[in-house]
């Protein structure tokens, strides 16, 4: 009798252990995969939600920027208006006294090939002459830049922006870079006579002839440079720098979008 009782107890214990083990397996599968082995056709609701959320997120990230009903012509007009505003504001600031000289971002320095002149003159106690030479280069730029606005404006209005959408959705100064690439040479040709006149007007040409002459006398060398070409290039680059700053401002600061076309075009790129 006692053997029968022990056998029955052992059997019950075995069945109980197997049931507990099965429950553990079921629980583990459900937690890890969301599948309920007692009802495998219905996965956990949280897993479904997570899957749905993941799919939604992926879809959202893959969605293109919505430019609404903007046409390429409208985008082009918005970009051109931003560039025109940049030129107008930039030229206005650069044309002031010290507009170039006191703005470290655009200040015209001694031409690289003449910087040894600067060092030599300062070593000879003629630093004031070198400073005057640099100041007059900037004065010439400040005088000439007043003539830049209509030249730049003409280049902007006649420019065909063939890939306006990509430019709109690109970097902060993409339109300025595009303008520079397309118009640099024609701007240089049109602007160079203005700079030449300004170099003479402020006396920069005379001072630099004297400066270079003194250097050549002291060193026995024969240094020459085309100041007109140098100042023309630096002045144009200064205007482009100001235009790029304005473009970046319009792209990133809604308050700077002062016209309806700017608001419409650059508002569309805010979600890029």
Low-confidence ranges of the chain (pLDDT < 70): 1-66, 272
Looking at residue 96, the DSSP 8-state letter turns out to be S
Half-sphere exposure of 251 (CA within 13 A, CB side): 23
Closest of 143, 153, 124 to residue 211, by C-alpha: 124
Q: What is the number of H-type helices and E-type strands within the chain?
A: 11, 0
Domain boundaries, the chain: 72-271
Q: Are 153 and 102 in contact (CB under 8 A)?
A: no
Q: Are 232 and 240 in contact (CB under 8 A)?
A: no
3-state helix, strand, coil in the chain (%, to 5): 75, 0, 25
Confidence (pLDDT) at 221: 80
Q: How far apart are CA 170 and CA 244, in angstroms?
A: 13
Looking at residue 64, the DSSP 8-state letter turns out to be P
Strands (DSSP E) along the chain, which ranges? Answer: none
Confidence (pLDDT) at 105: 96
Residue 200, φ and ψ in degrees, nearest 5? -75, -40
Confidence (pLDDT) at 31: 56
Confidence (pLDDT) at 65: 56
Q: How confident is the model over 45-95, as pLDDT tens digits?
A: 444 443 334 333 333 333 345 677 889 999 999 999 999 999 999 999 999
Q: How far apart are CA 174 and CA 243, in angstroms?
A: 11
Confidence (pLDDT) at 6: 36
Confidence (pLDDT) at 124: 81
């Amino acid at each position: 009798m006692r053997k029968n009782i022990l056998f029955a107890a052992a059997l019950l214990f075995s069945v109980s252990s197997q049931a507990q083990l099965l429950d553990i397996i079921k629980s583990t599968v459900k937690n890890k995969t969301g599948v309920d082995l007692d009802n495998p056709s219905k996965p956990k609701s949280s897993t479904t939600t997570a899957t749905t959320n993941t799919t939604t997120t992926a879809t959202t990230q893959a969605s293109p920027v919505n430019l609404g009903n903007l046409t390429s012509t409208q985008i082009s007009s918005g970009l051109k208006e931003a560039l025109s505003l940049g030129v107008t504001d930039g030229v206005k600031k650069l044309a002031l006294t010290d507009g170039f000289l006191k703005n470290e971002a655009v200040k015209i320095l001694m031409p690289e090939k003449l910087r040894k002149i600067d060092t030599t003159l300062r070593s000879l106690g003629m630093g004031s002459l070198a400073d005057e030479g640099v100041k007059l280069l900037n004065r010439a730029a400040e005088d000439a830049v007043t003539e830049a606005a209509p030249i730049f404006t003409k280049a902007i209005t006649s420019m065909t922006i063939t890939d306006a959408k990509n430019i709109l959705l690109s970097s902060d100064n993409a339109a300025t870079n595009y303008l520079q690439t397309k118009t640099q040479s024609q701007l240089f040709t049109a602007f160079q006579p203005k700079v030449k006149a300004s170099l003479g007007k402020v006396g920069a040409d005379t001072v630099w002839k004297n400066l270079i002459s003194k250097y050549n006398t002291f060193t026995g060398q024969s240094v020459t440079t085309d100041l007109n070409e140098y100042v023309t290039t630096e002045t144009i680059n200064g205007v482009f720098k100001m235009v790029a700053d304005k473009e970046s401002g319009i792209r990133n600061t809604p308050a700077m979008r002062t016209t309806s076309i700017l608001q419409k075009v650059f508002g569309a790129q805010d979600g890029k």
